[in-house]
Chain A
Amino acid sequence: MLRQIEGSRAVAETVACCRPQVICAYPISPQTHIIEALSAMVKAGDLTPCEFINVESEFAAMSASIGASAAGARAYTATASQGLLYMIEAVYNASGLGLPIVMTLANRAIGAPINIWNDHSDAMAVRDSGWIQLFAETNQEAADLHILAFRLAEQLSLPVMVCMDGFILTHAVEGIDVAEQGAVDAFLPSYEPRQVLDPDEPVSIGAMVGPEAFEEVRYLAHLRQLEALDLIPALAAEFESMFGRPSAGLLSSYRIEDAETVVVAMGSVLGTIKDAVDARRDEGDRVGVLAITAFRPFPRQAVRDALAGARSIVVVEKAFSIGFGGVLSTDVAMATHDHACSLRTVVAGLGGRPITRRSLEGMLDTAVRDELDTLTFLDLDTGIVEREQLRMAETRRSGPSAEHVLHGLQSGPRPVDRPVP
């Protein structure tokens, strides 16, 4: 039944329907509403049997999740930003040990400078951790992807991270159809662990592996993650037949058939991009969109096929690798290396900077005229940058940059609700 509810609420209710037996999390914006709702459900006895473990840090949250999962429990956690960084050692352990933990990542920028707003820097920081990473475009997708995530994780014995844009999705109230318990039960069988810490059948998990076998163990993990490239579309098809609505799969396209210029992106910005693409189509530009849901494993072949007709590819990313450029762009470039097409990176929405349709349309207009730079920072205020560079050149003891940039803004921090001039 469609209800007008907050994205975090929908995710919490959906996770509850997945019958997690252990939830262990530490609160951090913008993940808090999800965890608050789940802890309230456990306390009220609405989610049972389930233990909600309060811990002192994210490192403990992931460590306890690892313990619970290794003991055979279905384990769930959620975090964001610095919280993810704080648990990163355990994040690698969860995947290295092959434990099917599901974690919501309410995507948020990473400091310094401290910033609570949305971008994808946190997800990119654990890109190589061995977790499957799925990006939601809408709150409906975010909620539904959790059901798919538990099934996928447990079938492959690998942890899955569902990435949803912090605030933009987590705090948005919109019409969401939260799955019914019966349907989730039919889709998601009870957890049958591949390995379990059982006193009656003792095993050791987490052995030290030296140079004689480390590469092989890592390669096996790679092969196992690649299995998701077949499994995700199969599960998405099964989901659609059971729930009566499509689930996000590896990727999806929009108005791509005859498109010369294709925008590739992940997450909630895709909605605004589709509006911008419709507007450019009305002006006669042949533009389309490729939405990536599965970032890890990266659907290289599917991306290659989807972009076969494109003359120009524009990757819009909410993160970048300082000192180089695009992150998703690099993967897309590898997937399309034998295509005769140009590839440009547009970094946008860092630290919560609004990505407006107006700016996207302007960027697309430049792209179809083949005048877009290889690396573009959308709506970058070059005046601010140049002022700070000049100031730093004047004196050795120039002080902290972030603070001076803020002081230099005449009316304080750039208001998020002001139209771009």
Chain B
Amino acid sequence: MFQIRIHGRGGQGVVTAAEVLSMAAFAQGRTAQAFPSFGSERMGAPVVSFCRIDDHPIRTREPVMEPDALIIQDATLIHQVDLFAGLRREAYVIINTSRTLDQLGLGEFSGQLDPDRLLTCPATEFALEQLGRPLPNAALIAGFAALTGEISLDAIDTAIRQRFGGPVGERNVAAATAAYRFVADARAESAHVAAD
């Protein structure tokens, strides 16, 4: 079972992100479960959602406490919420930001994680380019897919089109494609550096 925890703020689509991820996994023929952490859903308040992906029926209903991957939609949460609770060294982390880990104050912390699995992705910028609105969901999920290899870009695109449909769906697919390429390139570069 692969378990994902998503952190963001009310209004950014944290719950939708988990839902779309689960739909993408389902489109790929896998079993998935998505659910929010059910806080008081105020605009701007910290919100958490969860997604589990497996090849067997998923029975558990507990929150994801030891995630295999963490998706952070809003980097301003880093020093406000215990985002990294239960995180193991081998977990994947993708943070929506155009800043560096050092600029976020995570330089020292990043040493505790696998550098190949920790990534920043300017998903809001991809969203602004393609949608004209700061809704980083599609881009961030695609970045997650590229980082982890758990889900294909095709499945992500299918889920986005199912969830949003029409021109909005297509613009989100464009943002997702851009973010997927960005992360895939970043990984290739990191592999290249490692090979040198």
Contact = CB atoms under 8 A, between A and B. Distances in A.
A396 interface: no
A246 interface: no
A117 B58 CA distance: 22
A199 interface: no
A116 B41 CA distance: 11
Given A168-B61, A354-B62, A173 B18 contact: yes
* Residue with the greatest number of chain B CB neighbours at <10 A, chosen from A165, A173, A274, A419: A173
B63 A416 contact: yes
Nearest to A418: B85
A420 B33 CA distance: 22
Contacts of A173: 18-19, 22-23, 32-35
A271 B82 contact: no
Contact of A417 (B5, B18, B58): B5
B59 interface: yes
Interface residues of B, number: 32
Chain A facing B: main interface SS: loop
A174 B59 contact: no
B37 A416 contact: yes
B36 A171 contact: yes
B36 A167 contact: yes
A269 interface: yes
Contact of A418 (B33, B61, B82): B82
B60 interface: yes
Interface residues of A, number: 30
Interface string B6-37: 00000000010011001100110001111111
Nearest to A166: B38
B62 A175 contact: no
A172 B64 CA distance: 13
A417 B62 contact: no
Interface string A2-23: 0010100000000000000000
A352 B82 contact: no
B32 A271 contact: no
B86 interface: yes
A275 B59 contact: yes
Nearest to B24: A4
B74 interface: no
A168 B58 CA distance: 13
B5 to A, nearest CB: 7
A415 interface: yes
Interface string A347-379: 000001011110000000000000000000000
A272 interface: yes
Contact of A356 (B19, B27, B37, B65): B65
Contact of B59 (A167, A272, A419): A272
Contacts of B15: 171
A274 B62 CA distance: 12
A195 interface: no
A105 B18 CA distance: 25
A30 B33 CA distance: 18
A268 interface: yes
Given A173-B34, A418-B82, A271 B61 contact: yes
A393 B48 CA distance: 38
Given A274-B59, A419-B65, A6 B19 contact: yes
Interface in B35-84: 35-40, 48, 58-66, 81-82
Interface in A101-138: 116-117
A357 B34 contact: no
Nearest to B65: A419
Nearest to B33: A174
B143 to A, nearest CB: 21
A268 B18 CA distance: 20
Contacts of A171: 15, 35-36, 38
A82 to B, nearest CB: 16
A168 B35 contact: yes
Given A172-B33, A175-B32, A354 B63 contact: yes
The 9 closest A-B pairs by CB, nearest first: A271-B59, A4-B26, A419-B65, A173-B34, A172-B35, A167-B38, A356-B62, A419-B86, A4-B23
Given A171-B15, A175-B26, 20 more contacts: A167-B35, A167-B38, A171-B35, A172-B35, A172-B61, A173-B19, A173-B34, A174-B33, A271-B58, A271-B60, A274-B59, A275-B59, A355-B62, A356-B63, A415-B85, A416-B38, A417-B48, A418-B86, A419-B66, A420-B65
5 contacts: A171-B35, A171-B38, A175-B31, A356-B65, A417-B63
Interface of B: 5, 15, 18-19, 22-23, 26-27, 31-40, 48, 58-66, 81-82, 85-86
